[in-house]
Amino acid sequence: MDRIGRTRRWASTAARNLVEAVTYPFESWPGTIGLVGVTGATYVLLVLASMPEYTLQMLGDGIHWFDTVIVDLTDTIYRTDGAVGLGIVVSYALLTGVAVVNAVAQLRLVGLGGLTDLTGVLPGLLASGCASCGAGLLGFLGFAGGLAVLPYDGALVRIGGLALLLFFLGRAGHPERCVVSPGVTDG
């Protein structure tokens, strides 16, 4: 088979695996509830991490400020980065929810030994751990200043993190199905 044919077959398989991975959480109520819970928690964490000093000051005064902080910081992200920036935060939270639900399902089915495909999510989490500000966990590693000098204020890093999450999901596919292509032999 020629190179173009192999590339098309790989792209078709990756697209099918991505669709199966994204739709898997909706196959059961526990999966859907898990997706909503993890997505919501991730969104809240990303929004709160966008301005940690403000968050600590407001929530230090009382938990009754929680809803105000979430609304204010969501508005700040929208006014700072626009609809695209807010969309990146929402997309990152949603894809993280899908990845976590799929990882839990795969862990439940095959145990720790079968989680080799799930290690692909770590670079995405490191690269854009805080999708709202772009620094993520890289800031804790001393790279926040380096991200500040990147073009587009690190937006490419955030998009790269989303691309890594999509690649991971496309590679892993449906957690209950084997993703080895038929006709592929060992040796």
DSSP string, 73-128: HHHHHHHHHHHHHHHHHHHHHHHHHHHHHHHHHHHHHH-GGGGGGGGGHHHHHHHT
| Block mean pLDDT (10 aa), the chain, length 187 | 81 88 93 95 88 90 95 92 89 89 82 58 49 48 57 68 82 73 48
Q: How far apart are CA 69 and CA 5, in angstroms?
A: 52
End-to-end distance of the chain based on CA atoms, in angstroms?
19
Which residue is listed with tokens 């380096």? 146
Q: Sign of torsion, CA 33 34 39 44? A: positive
φ, ψ for residue 51, nearest 5 deg: -140, 80
Q: What is the pLDDT of residue 150?
A: 62
48 to each of 56, 59, 68, 74, 100, how far by Cα in Å?
9, 10, 11, 9, 20
Based on the structure, what is the number of domains in the chain?
1
187 part of a folded domain: no
| Tokens, residue 169 | 């999901």
Q: What is the pLDDT of residue 108?
A: 83
184 part of a folded domain: no
Q: Residue 55 belongs to what domain range?
A: 3-171
Q: What is the pLDDT of residue 65?
A: 95
Tens digit of each residue's pLDDT (9 = 90 or more) over 96-110: 899 889 888 888 877
Q: How far apart are CA 50 and CA 30, in angstroms?
A: 30
| Tokens, residue 175 | 């957690």
38 part of a folded domain: yes
Do residues 170 and 15 lie in contact, with contact meaning Cβ atoms separated by under 8 Å?
yes
Q: How far apart are CA 124 and CA 144, in angstroms?
A: 16
Q: What is the pLDDT of residue 70?
A: 96
